[in-house]
Structure formats: structure tokens, C-alpha cells
Amino acid sequence: MALLKEYYRPQSVQEAVQLLARQDVRLTPLAGGSQLVGQLETRAVKDVDGVVDLGHLGLDFVEMAGDHLRIGATTTLTDLMEHPVAGQLADGLLRRTGRYEGPVNLRNMATVGGLVATAEPDSELYAALLALGATVIWSDGASQESIPLGEWSGTGRGPGLIVEVHLPILELRGGHARVARTPSDRCIVAAVAVVGQAGERVALCGVAPRPILADQPLDPPDDFKGSAEYRRQMAQLLTERALQEARQ
Ligand SMILES: Cc1cc2nc3c(=O)[nH]c(=O)nc-3n(C[C@H](O)[C@H](O)[C@H](O)COP(=O)(O)OP(=O)(O)OC[C@H]3O[C@@H](n4cnc5c(N)ncnc54)[C@H](O)[C@@H]3O)c2cc1C
């Protein structure tokens, strides 16, 4: 078991950030726990004395706000995928890519904020959020900052929380192409494309330490799943396939 000494369940974002800012104890946010709990139990994460549970901050919502969707950070991946508007964007891209984010019981726990915070390199759902033009809303407890997901690095901001993710509601066509060892395995490389009146946008995963927009430099790993050269070639091929589907 993890050796946690402290557990907090604040009722407001401000209270949560105050806890995270404490100097006398090392606290970290706990959202769905799908990744963090295992990391604490196996001691993969050691420099933590306790957790700040985000479950009672009122951030579990998906709301229409004019020309965009506001997605609260503790919304589960399942609720995002099943939302009648979010789930239909760009030919259902969030539904299509989300089904590769672990099994359904994990998607019922894992949250949108956790997905953005962990930025797993092979997350196709994160790539779909990038392609759809998502914006991250970060709170330091007193004020909020909007950061395009494509510019979000997650580090160097001091104590704070991802509180929302915003998605523009646009008429878009979507395309998705992937290679994996088996059809249901996590991808080696994948491309997600959207095409609309403002142009085309493609996001890739499996070719950098985190999912990226395709106009950024590739920095592919070289591992047992695929060499760096293989991943570069797949990125090109899958970009073409995803765009071709979205343009149809
Ligand atoms: C079996 C298994 C399969 C998985 N498969 C996938 C997969 O296919 N694709 C994938 O992308 N991931 C996968 N993961 C990793 C993980 O489940 C996801 O990244 C998930 O989205 C994490 O969300 P969570 O809400 O459970 O986060 P937690 O586990 O609660 O937290 C993860 C990290 O994010 C931080 N965090 C959470 N919420 C916030 C917030 N609002 N603001 C700031 N920091 C925050 C936490 O402090 C912690 O460091 C898998 C994990 C497991 C155990």
C-alpha cells in the first residue's frame, strides 16, 4: 500500500490550490486515480506525502457556452465521449479515439484533467483534443489562464490546477488512422485530422514525448514497438490517411 500521511477533500478550487501550495507537506492532486494510485502503491512516485482529492470541486460537467463547450476537469472520459455534442464533434472523433484509452472501467474513472496532466505519448484522445483546437484553463486559485493545448507543457506554473478544457463547436469533418500491434492495443503511431472552413489540423501521437500537432518537430522514441525511423514513416502515411478520410 502507498504510505500516504495526508488526505484532503477540499470543496473549492481556491482551497485545493492553497493545499497544493503548502511548503510543510508535499501534496499532489488526485483525480480519477487510474494512474496515480498505482504509481503511489508501487512507489513509482515517491516524493508525495498526501493527496488533494478533486472529487468535490464541482468540476464534473460538460456545458455549452456560446461557441464552445466547457468541460470540467473531473469529467470522466466516458462522460466526455457520451456527451451528445462533444461525442459528435468532427464525425465522433472523441468517441472513436477514446475507446483506445484503456478498458471501459478505466475510462469510467479517468478524468479529462488527468488525461491532460499526464499527456501520455500514445494518447489518441489527447491527440483528438489537440486536433479539435482545445484550450486548457489553469487556475492558480485566484485567477484563471487560458492556454491552447498545443502550447501546453504542464510544467513551470507553480501551484495550481487544470480546472476546465474548452472545445470550439465547429462544423468539422474528422479522420483517424493508427498502427498498433493488435487492433485493440495502444497505438504505436496514430494521426487525428480535422478539416473545416478554417483549414486542416492534424495531431500525432507516438512520435514525441507527448502528443503533438503535426507542424511541430518530431522526436520519436526508438523502442521495442517501433524504431524512430519506422515511426517517422508511419506519421507521414497516417497523416495522409487521416486527412484523406476527413476530406471525403
Ligand atoms: C491499465 C492502464 C491503462 C492506461 N491506458 C491509457 C491509455 O490508453 N491512454 C492514456 O492516455 N492513458 C492511459 N493510462 C494512464 C491514465 O489512466 C490516464 O492518463 C488518465 O487519463 C489519468 O486520469 P486520472 O483522472 O485517473 O488521473 P490521476 O491518476 O488521478 O492523476 C494522474 C496525474 O495527473 C495529475 N492531475 C490529475 N488531475 C489534475 C488536474 N485537474 N490538474 C492538475 N493535475 C492533475 C495528478 O496529480 C497525477 O499526477 C492508463 C493507465 C492504466 C493504469
- What's the CA gap between 190 and 226, in Å, rounded? 13
- CATH domain 172-247 topology: Enolase-like; domain 1 (3.30.390)
> Would you give the DSSP letter of residue 151?
G
The residues, ordered by sequence, that sit 6+ positions from 236 with a Cβ below 8 Å of its Cβ are none
Domain 62-168: CATH architecture, name and number where available: 2-Layer Sandwich (3.30)
CA atoms within 13 A on the CB side of 238: 25
Give the model confidence (pLDDT) of 131-179 as tens digits. Answer: 999 999 999 999 999 999 999 988 778 899 999 999 999 999 999 999 9
| Closest alpha carbon to 216 in 132, 150, 129 | 150
**Does the CB atom of residue 78 touch ligand 1 within 6 A?**
no
Ligand 1 lined by 226 (C-beta under 6 Å): no
Q: In the chain, what percentage of residues exceed pLDDT 90?
A: 91
Mean model confidence pLDDT for the chain:
95
Amino acid at 190: A
**pTM of the predicted protein model:** 0.96
Give the side-chain half-sphere CA count within 13 A for 8.
21
* Residue 222 and residue 170 in contact, taking contact as beta carbons nearer than 8 Å: no
Asked whether the domain spanning 172-247 has the same topology as the one spanning 62-168, the reply is: no
The three grid cell numbers given for residue 216, joined into one nine-digit string: 511541430
**What is the rounded CA–CA span in Å between residue 17 and residue 160?**
5
Q: What is the pLDDT of residues 87-103, one digit of tens each?
A: 999 999 999 999 999 99
Strand order through the sheet with 199-205: 172-180, 187-196, 199-205, 212-213
Q: Is the dihedral of CA 88, 200, 208, 48 positive or negative?
A: negative
> Which cell is 180 given?
498498433
Does 135 sit in the ligand 1 pocket, CB within 6 Å?
no
CATH number for the segment(s) 6-53: 3.30.43.10
Cα(164)–Cα(127) distance, rounded to whole angstroms? 17
Ligand 1: which atom is nearest the Cα of residue 117?
34
Residues belonging to the chain: 248
SS3 41: helix
Contact 167, 70 (CB under 8 A): no
Domain boundaries, the chain: 6-53, 62-168, 172-247
Instruction: Using the atom order of ligand 1, give the atom closest to the CA of residue 111.
Output: 25
Atom 46 in ligand 1: which residue has the minimum CA distance?
29
